[in-house]
Amino acid sequence: MKKILSFTILSFLLLFSCKKDEEEVEPLRDVSEQSIADDQLLEDFLSTHFYNYEDFEDQTLNPKIIFDTISGDNSSKTSLLSQVTKKTLRVKTSAGDLIDHNLYYLVAREGIGKSPSSVDSTYQAYEGLLLDGTVFDGNANPVWFDLTSLVRGFREGIPSLKAGTFEVNEDNTVTFQDFGQGAIFFPSGLGYFSNATGVIPAYSPLIFKINLYTINPTDHDGDGIPSSEEFDNDGDGVPDDTDGDGIADYLDSN
């Protein structure tokens, strides 16, 4: 899942890629203004689209989340905007300012197990999309991810879901049931901000559909303290380093 490698907003501001002298370079956009612009784009999408919520009424099925426009035969559908939950996160800029960014998450099925923290390991299938429907990444088969390696919007949104149950079949395949299914919608400041990557343009809000199968709580430095208690206690999106030794607390066993 290399397209959702973790970047903080600080790295976006410091690692602005240089272009050739003869090319026109767009000035780096203001973080606060971009957050407002992205939020409007997200709300426009959420207010004009719906998902196939009726397919999720049958608990014996595990349908795929599908988005479509509210129009024509679908004009009476309930919008995503009325079904998502908004979560506001603070993003620390290189100047030390804290800028609010709104993340929206949809719970199509909550799941029956435990929710991960934003820094645990998770076993999931996923699909990443732009607001125009372009799929930029995905894996239909579940894979393990350490959430600390993912963009902040992804890792901060996935705790809205819970893991499911599983059983190992006679042929050693695994069947998952009652797992969480949902989607996360977040602004560029919680994703790649000014960095274009692959088919993702700079300043792109992102969408991820997720099936969360199981989780593994983590203690990255093996100090007996869960990483969730050491990673970001001040909520600015930057891993804590309380002793100032240059090593993030969740990786520092001293």
Q: What is the DSSP letter of 36?
A: H
What is the rounded distance in angstroms from the CA atom of residue 239 to the CA atom of residue 64?
34
Q: In the structure, what pLDDT confidence band is assigned to residue 59 with cuts at 50, 70 and 90?
A: confident
What is the rounded distance in angstroms from the CA atom of residue 212 to the CA atom of residue 225?
24
User: Phi and psi of 17, rounded to 5°?
Assistant: -70, 140
How far is the CA of 167 from the CAs of 109, 178, 221, in angstroms?
20, 12, 31
The CATH class for the domain spanning 2-218 reads alpha beta
Instruction: Give the tokens for residue 162.
Output: 């819970």
What is the rounded distance in angstroms from the CA atom of residue 140 to the CA atom of residue 111?
18
Q: pLDDT tens digit string along 148-171?
A: 999 999 999 999 999 999 888 988
Q: Which amino acid is at 38?
A: D
Q: pLDDT tens digit string along 223-240?
A: 999 999 999 999 999 999
Q: In the structure, what pLDDT confidence band is assigned to residue 46 with cuts at 50, 70 and 90?
A: very high
Least confident residue range of 18-22, 134-138, 164-168, 178-182? 18-22
Q: In the structure, what pLDDT confidence band is assigned to residue 87 with cuts at 50, 70 and 90?
A: very high
Show me where the domains of the chain are located.
2-218
Q: How many CB atoms lie within 10 A of CB 253?
A: 13
User: Phi and psi of 100, rounded to 5°?
Assistant: -70, 135
Q: Give the burial class of 211: count Cβ atoms within 10 A of its Cβ; 0-12 exposed, 13-18 middle, 19 or more buried.
A: buried
Q: What pLDDT is attached to residue 254?
A: 83
More confident residue, 60 or 90: 90
Q: What is the DSSP letter of 24?
A: P
Residue carrying structure tokens 């970047």: 7
What percent of the chain is predicted at pLDDT more than 70? 90
What is the rounded distance in angstroms from the CA atom of residue 141 to the CA atom of residue 18?
37
**pTM to 2 decimals?**
0.88
For residue 49, pLDDT over 50 is answered with yes
For residue 19, pLDDT over 50 is answered with no
Q: In the structure, what pLDDT confidence band is assigned to residue 172 with cuts at 50, 70 and 90?
A: confident
Which residue from 220, 6, 173 is spatially nearest to 229, judged by alpha carbons? 220
Q: Which amino acid is at 251?
A: L
Least confident residue range of 35-39, 109-113, 168-172? 168-172
Q: What pLDDT is attached to residue 24?
A: 61
What is the rounded distance in angstroms from the CA atom of residue 109 to the CA atom of residue 164?
10
User: Phi and psi of 141, rounded to 5°?
Assistant: -90, 135
